[in-house]
Structure 1
Amino acid sequence: MTEQARPQELPAGLLTDPEMINACRVRDFARVFRLVKARAGIYPSMIARRCELTPSRVGEVMAGRRQLLHMDVVERIADGLRVPGHMLGLARRPWETPQTLGAVEAEAHQDAEAGKAAPGTLPGPDVDSILALTSRTTLNSATLEAFQSSIEDYWRRDDQHGGEALRPAIVGQLRYVVGLLKENRPPSIQRGLYGVAAELARLAGWTYFDARQYNQARAYFTEALQLAKEIDDRQTMANVLACMSLQATYQDKPADSLAFVTAAQDQARSAMGSTPRVLSMLSMREAFAHATLGNRQSTHRAIGEAHRHFEEIQAADHDPSWVTYFDEPKLIVDTGIAHGRLGEASTAEPLIADALQREDRANQRGRAFHSFWLARTQLDQGKLDQACHTATQALESASAVASERVTGHLREFYDQLAPHRQEPVALAFEARLRALLPVNGTIRP
């Protein structure tokens, strides 16, 4: 902030207003700025000055002609308008924490009483201040291992429950690690921190992708690419580009998907130590792109490449941790999905069914995806009873995970079922859908 005086606080009523909370959650700054103007009397010129933006840029945002995606801009908005960090998916901002323990001691009695009244609130300022005293400890390899362990736990919980509830913690840890990068450290530790930050940015992007908030996802994926590029980590760059390729497939932008995965393969081939498992996964992403484009021959070729690379996997391979999920059941189910995207339902069905029998049952989101794909291929072949039975079973997994992508797969099957809605098996499926999942404007039995 360039202003010397403490910025005006936003009214408590605005910060607790559901419209403001939702606008901040999705980072819809057009709405945020309009609400701030209407409810707090902070006009566009003042918003621009407080957030270190130009007045014309603020005007373009409020008119819906421009979006603000870069994290440094989001942080300036939080600090300039005094929006608490958690509302924008950021870590607690410095101005939310007292600067000295003395201030905490003076308020200890009030904080204790507040803690009794609201035991479920976020950690109090005394905790933040105490933890701040430890923030300058020397980082070592054990610290990096702890970061990696937390990332692995995030991924496991994301598979089981979806990333919606995890996202604030992931973004907060990302900002913390990026802050550590500003300090001088031994080269090996600094490189490790860049790797951790790149993976956290990819994970944050993935949670936004899973929520179908594609602009935010792309911003974090781009940040992950920049962090990986700082240390010339081409394997991580390949992985991030593969994520962007998958997102483009979901956005029905197959040409973009193919461009991203081709770039990912180039990075992987130029990297030291790229393993057959990595190359197999990338070939399968290429198959998805070709299938979405309707390129049958190219899809079959890419599937063949994926299986050829997979057969070359050795127990002694040093696979990156982010590709270990790509096991044989995943190869098989993705092969089935690629055939399904081409409209080759009779080929796709047994492959997806076989993979579902063998894949990890703890991966609720993956099982929901694959079950809905299986149901769609069965319906494509006129197997209405089997399709409805499969989709009904998929609802169990779908109801256990918060994922807009799962909802999207359910919606696609439900739309495909439209000509058969009055059949008894379809009615039974709809009854189960009503019982397990909330009815909303996008899926309305």
Structure 2
Amino acid sequence: MSMPPERPGFPAHSLSSEAMISACRERDFAQIFKLAKRAGMYNATIATLVNMTQSRVGEIMSGKREIGKMDVIERVADGLRIPGHMLGLARREWEGPEPIVPARQEGGSPYAPADPVLSLPGPDLDSILAVAAGPKLSPSTVRALHSSIEDYWRRDDEHGGETLRPAVVGQLRYVVELIKEAGEGEYRRHLYEVAAELARLTGWTYFDARQYSQARTYFTEALQLAKVVDDRPFMANVLSCMSLQATYEDRPADAVALSTAAQDSARWRGGTPRVMAMLSMREAFAHATMTNQSATHAALAEAHKQFGRISATDDDPSWVTYFDEAKLIVDTGIARGRLGEADAAEPLVANALRRAHPGNQRGRAFHSFWLARIQLQRGNLDEACDTAAGALRYASAVDSERVTGHLREFHQQLTPYRKEPAAVDFETQLRATLR
């Protein structure tokens, strides 16, 4: 009997290429489709395999469209036979079972320790066992999930999100499986809220790594999950994250639009004063990026007005509790620093930096950078370089491309002073820290 022809997909040598590994890690589907074409697949073939139209495949290749939905990403993995782990997915059904580790050959030492990695169960087994056991949902289950998210955020502040991301994504998939198994009711709503927060956190880790396309994918996923349970304040929170990202991508008009959309969404369900203060501050950042002084000051005034309305009886969501008085002050200083109002900005940022939590390494690095930049605006070169050196020390403890990018930006601002001793010393420290 003749065997059926093997379904086409990426050959092994293409999957193992550096270009393919990099494209999958970034979920750069334009590059993945181009590599598929280079491997001998026509647009029509790709379209058939991934269940898309040829025109959409062409738009993705040209960068006019992106792939963000998880079900479409899974279709691409299955259609082009890309192993799940390469795209951050669970092991695909067509990959078959996990390979069996061969027994130790004769002659090997009976006392040699087993490889701890090979002896651990895979993540798929953990998921299968969890789902097979059934969703034993209770108030303690929900509390445990929220507690783990709080811990993730704390560790993200202290160390950055690069190494944290696999655990967060794994828990996101686990919660999504629980949602599929859970019946209608309050627990299902709580699970959607947890999944939305995990998706937002994943997007944030990509944003902090300046991997903006991936960040948008997960921010969009978070919006969709929150929309299912009509959690308008949380949708506003995600939109505010997207607004901040737009400022980094030099899309200030989009940043303004996203920040105002966030405020509209929060008002729909009566966002608390703390929520509205945080969202107004994001609008101020967006306007400050365009150096629109009047609009920036209007948004800052609104942020301070809303913050003044905060009451101990407010039912603030947990994700906004970080926005305290110190955060209000430092963000005001940063916004005014962006406008070039260095005299007013410096005491605000310096005061908040003194009050910052010692465990928040990324925050201290970020705020030190802004203080150094403001001091440089005021012509205090030695003081600015000393502050920036402090930012370097904080940055060395956290994996954040966003922070290191700012420090390189400060180094560029030192160009007119390159021969000055303070600038030379900072450059030496920068090269030693970020090599």
Judged with a 3 Å threshold, the aligned counterparts in structure 2 of structure 1 residues 12 and 325 are, in CA distance, closer, same or farther, namely same
Counterpart in the other structure of 2:253: 255
Question: Matched residue of 2:130: which SS?
Answer: coil
Q: Which one of the candidate residues 386, 394, 398 is aligned to 2:395?
A: 398
Contact persistence 1:171–1:200 (CA under 8 A): yes
Contact persistence 1:237–1:267 (CA under 8 A): yes
1:164-243 mapped onto 2 (5 Å cutoff): 164-243=162-241
Percent identity between matched residues is 62
Q: Which one of the candidate residues 121, 128, 134 is aligned to 1:132?
A: 128
Q: Which one of the candidate residues 142, 145, 165 is aligned to 1:144?
A: 142
1:13 is displaced (CA, Å) by: 4.1
Judged with a 3 Å threshold, the aligned counterparts in structure 2 of structure 1 residues 183 and 205 are, in CA distance, closer, same or farther, namely same
Opposite residue 254 of structure 1, the aligned amino acid is P
The reply on whether 1:110 has 2:102 as its aligned counterpart is yes
Counterpart in the other structure of 2:60: 61
1:437 is displaced (CA, Å) by: 0.7
Counterpart in the other structure of 1:305: 302
The reply on whether 1:425 has 2:422 as its aligned counterpart is yes
Tell me the TM-score normalized by structure 1.
Answer: 0.87
Contact persistence 1:7–1:81 (CA under 8 A): no
Q: CA RMSD in A?
A: 2.7
Counterpart in the other structure of 1:441: none
Deviations 1:354-405 (A, max 9, x none): 1111111211111111111111100011100001001111111112222221
1:122 is displaced (CA, Å) by: 9.4
Which runs of no fewer than 5 residues in structure 1 stay unpaired? 99-103, 439-445
1:239-388 mapped onto 2 (5 Å cutoff): 239-272=237-270, 274-388=271-385
Deviations 1:298-355 (A, max 9, x none): 3223222222322332333322110111112111110100110111011111111111
Deviations 1:98-147 (A, max 9, x none): 3xxxxx8xx8663789x97754469545x744651431413232222222
- How far apart are the structure 2 equivalents of 1:431 and 1:351? 29
Judged with a 3 Å threshold, the aligned counterparts in structure 2 of structure 1 residues 76 and 176 are, in CA distance, closer, same or farther, namely farther
- How far apart are the structure 1 equivalents of 2:88 and 2:127? 20
- How far apart are the structure 1 equivalents of 2:119 and 2:189? 32
1:8 is displaced (CA, Å) by: 5.4
The reply on whether 1:15 has 2:12 as its aligned counterpart is no
Contact persistence 1:89–1:172 (CA under 8 A): no
- How far apart are the structure 1 equivalents of 2:119 and 2:202? 21
1:86 is displaced (CA, Å) by: 2.7
Q: How many aligned positions are there?
A: 424
Opposite residue 212 of structure 2, the aligned amino acid is Y
Which runs of no fewer than 5 residues in structure 2 stay unpaired? 106-111
Contact persistence 1:91–1:168 (CA under 8 A): no
- How far apart are the structure 1 equivalents of 2:252 and 2:101? 60
The reply on whether 1:32 has 2:32 as its aligned counterpart is yes
Question: Matched residue of 1:315: which SS?
Answer: coil
Opposite residue 275 of structure 1, the aligned amino acid is T
Opposite residue 209 of structure 1, the aligned amino acid is F
Deviations 1:13-43 (A, max 9, x none): 443332221111111223323334445x444
Judged with a 3 Å threshold, the aligned counterparts in structure 2 of structure 1 residues 121 and 254 are, in CA distance, closer, same or farther, namely farther
1:246 is displaced (CA, Å) by: 1.1
Contact persistence 2:84–2:90 (CA under 8 A): yes
- How far apart are the structure 1 equivalents of 2:54 and 2:304? 55
Judged with a 3 Å threshold, the aligned counterparts in structure 2 of structure 1 residues 112 and 221 are, in CA distance, closer, same or farther, namely farther
1:188 is displaced (CA, Å) by: 0.3
Judged with a 3 Å threshold, the aligned counterparts in structure 2 of structure 1 residues 218 and 97 are, in CA distance, closer, same or farther, namely same
Contact persistence 1:245–1:258 (CA under 8 A): yes
Contact persistence 1:218–1:244 (CA under 8 A): yes
Question: Matched residue of 1:333: which SS?
Answer: helix
Tell me the TM-score normalized by structure 2.
Answer: 0.89
Question: Matched residue of 1:287: which SS?
Answer: helix
1:244 is displaced (CA, Å) by: 1.4
Question: Matched residue of 2:102: which SS?
Answer: helix
1:10 is displaced (CA, Å) by: 4.6
Opposite residue 176 of structure 1, the aligned amino acid is Y
Counterpart in the other structure of 2:407: 410
Deviations 1:276-310 (A, max 9, x none): 22122112112212222323233223222222322
- How far apart are the structure 2 equivalents of 1:281 and 1:214? 22
Contact persistence 2:127–2:174 (CA under 8 A): no
- How far apart are the structure 2 equivalents of 1:43 and 1:116? 49
Opposite residue 150 of structure 1, the aligned amino acid is S
- How far apart are the structure 1 equivalents of 2:168 and 2:322? 20
Judged with a 3 Å threshold, the aligned counterparts in structure 2 of structure 1 residues 367 and 93 are, in CA distance, closer, same or farther, namely farther
Counterpart in the other structure of 2:80: 81
